[in-house]
Amino acid sequence: MRFVIALMRHETNTFSPIATPLSAFNRGSTAGPLYGDDAVRACQGTNSAAAAFIDLVRRQGDEFVMPLMANAVPSGMVTAQAFESMAASIVEAVGAGCDAVMLDLHGAMVAEGYPDAEGELLARIRAAAPEVPIAVSLDFHANFSAALVDNATVIAGYCTYPHVDVYETGARAARTLMAALRGEARPVLLWRTLPMLTHMLRQTPRAQPMKDIMERAMAAERDGEVLNASVFGGFPLADIPHTGLAVVIVADAARVDAGRRLLDELCGMAWERRADFVFPIEPMEESIARAKTLTQGPVVLVDHGDNCGAGGPTDEMTVLGEVLRQGLEGVVAGPFWDPGAVAELIAAGVGQSVTLDVGGKTDMPALDLKGRPLRLSGRVQCITDGNYQVTGPMFTGMKLSLGRTVVLDVAGTLVVICEKPQEPFDTGVFTHAGIDLSRRRYILIKSRQHFRAGFEPIASEIVLVAGPGVCSSDYSQFPFRNLRRPIYPLEVHTALEAA
């Protein structure tokens, strides 16, 4: 058999002011997507769904082509040119002929003109090859429209957050696809989205309220009750009509009733716990003051309002400014995105003392936030190329790049400044620059949950800090215009009636 395998991933924060062009679609040192053999080499041996697809096809002795690997850090709207280019690469490969398609997608990509970019991609594939089976691996934060579901044959989603089961998710989707190709199963997709915006800090299947919902879904799949069962927390920072928590079941045609019962059960559990998916916000100053009382390090301070893993620019400096104002000692902070500051510091050179404005270059007009640089005085401690390979459990083996990176020593606080934004889900963002995290009392990073993959094992304490930004958990700040309404918790009583 001949397969088409492709990877196209982006989580779009529609409130982010940073557009996402084609050049942004590679998290490594190369600008833009990879194609053909280069795409295969970049994916194989990594914790990705595409790697699982590649391994399975090779074990079967079949053929495959990989027209595209395109993976961008979450940010604002994907440009029309970027989407058209990537979609054309995949559709052209499918049009050349294949027995099946396996796609490693995110599920929350919004492109100019397409609120459900993945649904548009699948519709184009279906138009090019009406009968071809399509298996799709999706992120836990996918949002669902009918176009995405109606044009797929199999859908499987990550069961973890942080996402450490990406390879296994690809394997789950591929196994069902292969069973269908062999005539051993007839997949039927059942799905539902609920009128609720969950807070990303309350979504993780590692803890309640999601924990036993996800465990029930995983058990149903494992025990053969259904072919696949996935619960999606959804990406709430996308102002589109189909945002919300979703459940997708792949049932065998011979056991559709069992799939419908499971769908009702999982949706009922989630809706009954809707209030538990709301995150209570502690004022930033209080969180930092509380952290100052902790004596055993390293204490991980997590600024979740400006996280590029959810579309933030990572140049919002308010939390670092407050950390310095309150006098926390032994801090390493970053990485902060500021290419201009990086250039200035490199020009000064290692060992030189410099005073400059860092960050605050990005206005966030959707939330009426103005960028405010932070003036820092320090010594250039280290300059690197920013390249590192992930050693932790999330996207293990992937080669990532911060671009040129500088460590600035500000009276003992190490500030890491980079050319390319990257959520710190792996300690490599610091260790590649020779920073010994065990010797730091505080580690200040911008993240939500993914940091737990690499940093939770070394943390004595974790303190969540509600800094400002387009990733805030305070939904009252966001001018939602395109959500289906009513929706919980924005409209509590009318959402109950709609449900």
- Tens of pLDDT, residue by residue over 135-183, are 999 999 999 999 999 999 999 999 999 999 999 999 999 999 999 999 9
Would the pLDDT of 318 be above 70?
yes
The answer to whether residue 478 is domain-embedded is: no
Do 259 and 288 fall within a single domain? Answer: no
Of the residues 277, 299, 331, which one is the last residue of a structural domain?
Answer: 277
What single-letter amino acid sits at 412?
Answer: G
Nearest to 460 by CA among 293, 295, 327, 323: 295
The answer to whether residue 479 is domain-embedded is: no
The answer to whether residue 456 is domain-embedded is: yes
- Tens of pLDDT, residue by residue over 212-224, are 999 999 999 999 9
Do 191 and 243 fall within a single domain? Answer: yes
Do 459 and 330 fall within a single domain? Answer: yes
Average pLDDT over residues 276-288: 96
- Tens of pLDDT, residue by residue over 453-472, are 999 999 999 999 999 999 99
The answer to whether residue 487 is domain-embedded is: no
The answer to whether residue 422 is domain-embedded is: yes
pTM: 0.93
pLDDT of 394 reads 93
Do 209 and 326 fall within a single domain? Answer: no
pLDDT-derived band at 496 (thresholds 50, 70, 90) equals low
Q: Any idea what the CATH number is for the domain that residue 269 is in?
A: 3.40.50.2300
pLDDT of 499 reads 57
Tokens at 203, concatenated:
């979504």
pLDDT-derived band at 26 (thresholds 50, 70, 90) equals confident
The answer to whether residue 368 is domain-embedded is: yes
pLDDT of 492 reads 77
Would the pLDDT of 497 be above 70?
no
Do 248 and 311 fall within a single domain? Answer: no
Q: How far is CA 76 from the centre of its chain?
A: 13
Do 379 and 252 fall within a single domain? Answer: no
pLDDT of 30 reads 62
Do 361 and 259 fall within a single domain? Answer: no
pLDDT of 493 reads 59
Do 308 and 252 fall within a single domain? Answer: no
The answer to whether residue 491 is domain-embedded is: no
Would the pLDDT of 330 be above 70?
yes
Do 325 and 394 fall within a single domain? Answer: yes
DSSP reduced 3-state for 380? strand
Would the pLDDT of 317 be above 90?
yes
Would the pLDDT of 404 be above 90?
yes
pLDDT of 325 reads 98
Domain range for 447 is 284-472
Is the N-terminal amide bond of 241 cis, ω within 30° of 0? no
Of the residues 223, 247, 277, which one is the last residue of a structural domain?
Answer: 277
Looking at the chain, the whole-number percentage of residues with pLDDT higher than 70 is 98
- Tens of pLDDT, residue by residue over 103-126, are 999 999 999 999 999 999 999 999
Other Cβ atoms within 10 Å of 327 Cβ, number: 7
Place of tokens 């003392």: 353
Do 267 and 376 fall within a single domain? Answer: no
The pLDDT mean for the chain works out to 96
Number of domains in the chain: 2
Q: Which helix (H) or strand (E) holds 150?
A: helix 146-150
Do 270 and 399 fall within a single domain? Answer: no
Sheet order of strands, 413-418 included? 353-358, 374-384, 405-410, 413-418, 331-337, 442-446, 299-303, 461-465
The answer to whether residue 133 is domain-embedded is: yes
Average pLDDT over residues 409-432: 97
pLDDT-derived band at 261 (thresholds 50, 70, 90) equals very high
pLDDT-derived band at 189 (thresholds 50, 70, 90) equals very high
What single-letter amino acid sits at 203?
Answer: Q
Of the residues 262, 277, 292, which one is the last residue of a structural domain?
Answer: 277
Residue 202 has what DSSP assignment?
G
Do 309 and 232 fall within a single domain? Answer: no
